[in-house]
Structures are given as structure tokens and as C-alpha cells.
């Protein structure tokens, strides 16, 4: 996959692109990230890409022309089939695992990082064909959201993770929050690893993990359960979890 990132701060991406899974994905040819400095397309000697908003108001707005020119340099030809040109914006659809999986099926992505008070509306209307938000909060610019999108999508590219099951069992990948994980030592400051994980009984371990994932999701993110296709076993486990929790609540009241 190739990802073109339009930004006025390309240096921000240095550590991110040269660390951990993203670095390995690039070295192994699964991912190419092309950083484009929007200032290179500014039409003035000071390389300014922002101006005061029409109608007044605080802050500065990124101009349309440098962003249009940058994208047109990357994607010449008006009639060519264009990849997703994504404006990272708090007004966009909220990024989630399903959207990451959808984007992982693309050969190329173009990410536009806004800054200041935002970008000229004509970028949203006539250039970007998609908008993505990573959450209901305000950031300084689109660079951090771009990294989030790249990271989540890269993990899903075939061959990037040594064990594909790791991506499938992550929180949200299976629709539920992930079950608890443990590693050595078996006992740490009096805190023990659950015996079932040491039993060697793979079916018991599978059932325990599924129950834990269901219980965590029910307690922390019950909204996710409405979107999961629960098996008969899942529904039975969930009923047990709810009954047990209600029983504990009654004991607490008494």
C-alpha cells in the first residue's frame, strides 16, 4: 500500500515511521509512505499556506490552492480513477476497526492534514472524497489522526504481522474488547496468573478467554454487544455473567 500524507509538518512523522511495526512494514515493502509538504505548493516567497477567514473570526484558515496543487501533482489527470482522498477532520465519520479494514483493501490512500482553524471549505466540497475523525475532541492538526489511520490500517495488511491471529484477536477486531493477557513470571508480588491459562487444556482456555472478553465488553462497552453476531455459546456465557453480576450486587446491598 502507498499512503501520501499532505502536511505542513512532515518532520512530525519521522519517529513514527521509523519505529516498530510501521518501520518493518516499510522495510519489507508492504507500506510506502510519501510525505508531501504543502508549503512546497505555496504561491508566495514566504511559503505561507494560510490566511484570515472571510467574514472575520479567530485564527487562520488553510488555503485551498496549495492543497489542490499538491493533490493534482500526485494524481495527474482529471478522468483517472482516484483513490480515497481523505480529509482528517473532526467533522468526518468516526474511525473504527471496520473502517480500518475497508481502507486496508485499497492500494493507495491520500491523507490531508488540516491545521490552524481548519481548511478552506472548497477542499472538503471539491477535492476530498472522504472525511475521517478519530474522535470527538479537538487536536492541533491532522498529523496525529493520520498516524492513527496509518497504524491501524497497516496492521491489517497481509504479511505485516508475523501471526495473523494477533490482528484478528485484538480488541474491536472481533467486535469485543480483548481478554486479559499474561506472561512470565507466573507469580509477581503475590499476583498470580489464572490457573486455567497454565492448565494446557486448550478448550478450557478458549472458553475462559471468550467469557472474559464478553464480560469486559458488557461492563465497559456494552454498546458493542449490539453489533456483534453472538453465538449460542456466547449468549449462554453472557447470561451467566449477568446473573453472577446481579447476584454480587444483591450481596453488596445486603
From first CA to last CA, the distance across the chain in angstroms is 59
Residues 33 and 148 in one domain: yes
Among candidate residues 120, 124, 143, 155, the one labeled active-site is: 155
Task: Please identify which of the residues 10, 66, 90, 145 carries the catalytic annotation.
Answer: 90
Is the same domain home to 146 and 243?
no
- Interacting residues of 131 by C-beta distance below 8 A, sequence separation 6+: 86, 87, 88, 89, 91, 92, 93, 124
The answer on pLDDT for 167 being more than 80 is no
CATH number of the domain to which 234 belongs: 1.10.1270.20
- Cell numbers for 214: 464478553
pLDDT digits (tens, 9 = 90+) for 121-156: 999 999 999 999 999 998 999 999 999 999 999 999
- The active-site residue, picked from 169, 170, 178, 234, is 170
Q: Catalytic site residue 155?
A: yes
Residue 182 lies in a domain: no
Task: Let me know whether 79 and 151 are in one domain.
Answer: yes
How far apart are alpha carbons 176 and 169 in whole angstroms? 9
**Residue 117 bears catalytic tag:** yes
203 included as an active-site residue: no
Which residue in 40, 65, 117, 178 is the catalytic one? 117
- How far lies 160's CA from each of 17, 19, 42, 90, in Å? 14, 14, 37, 29
**Number of independent structural domains in the chain:** 2
pLDDT tens-digit readout, 169-195: 555 657 899 999 999 999 999 999 999
Task: Give the mean pLDDT of 99-120.
Answer: 95
Please give the pLDDT value at position 247: 87
Q: Domain residues for 206? A: 187-253
Amino acid at each position: 500500500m502507498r499512503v501520501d500524507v499532505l502536511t505542513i509538518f512532515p518532520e512530525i512523522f519521522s519517529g513514527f515511521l521509523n519505529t516498530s511495526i510501521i518501520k518493518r512494514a516499510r522495510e519489507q515493502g508492504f507500506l510506502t509512505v510519501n510525505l508531501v509538504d504543502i508549503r512546497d505548493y505555496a504561491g508566495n516567497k514566504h511559503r505561507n499556506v494560510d490566511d484570515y477567514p472571510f467574514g472575520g473570526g479567530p485564527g487562520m484558515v488553510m488555503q485551498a490552492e496549495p492543497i489542490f496543487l499538491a493533490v493534482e501533482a500526485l494524481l495527474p489527470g482529471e478522468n483517472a480513477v482516484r483513490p480515497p482522498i481523505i480529509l482528517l477532520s473532526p467533522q468526518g465519520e468516526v474511525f473504527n476497526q471496520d473502517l480500518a479494514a475497508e481502507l486496508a483493501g485499497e492500494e493507495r490512500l491520500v491523507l490531508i492534514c488540516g491545521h490552524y482553524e481548519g481548511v478552506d471549505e472548497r477542499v472538503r466540497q471539491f477535492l476530498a472524497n472522504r472525511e475521517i475523525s478519530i474522535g470527538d475532541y479537538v487536536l492541533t492538526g491532522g498529523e496525529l489522526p493520520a498516524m492513527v489511520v496509518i497504524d491501524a490500517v497497516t496492521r491489517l495488511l497481509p504479511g505485516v504481522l508475523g501471526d495473523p491471529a494477533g490482528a484478528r484477536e485484538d480488541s474491536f477486531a472481533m467486535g469485543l474488547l480483548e481478554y486479559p493477557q499474561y506472561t512470565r513470571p507466573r507469580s509477581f508480588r503475590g499476583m498470580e496468573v489464572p490457573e486455567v491459562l497454565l492448565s494446557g487444556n486448550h478448550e478450557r482456555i478458549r472458553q475462559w478467554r471468550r467469557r472474559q472478553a464478553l464480560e469486559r465488553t458488557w461492563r465497559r462497552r456494552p454498546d458493542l454487544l449490539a453489533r456483534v453476531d453472538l453465538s449460542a455459546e456466547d449468549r449462554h456465557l453472557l447470561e451467566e455473567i449477568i446473573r453472577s453480576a446481579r447476584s454480587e450486587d444483591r450481596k453488596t446491598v445486603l
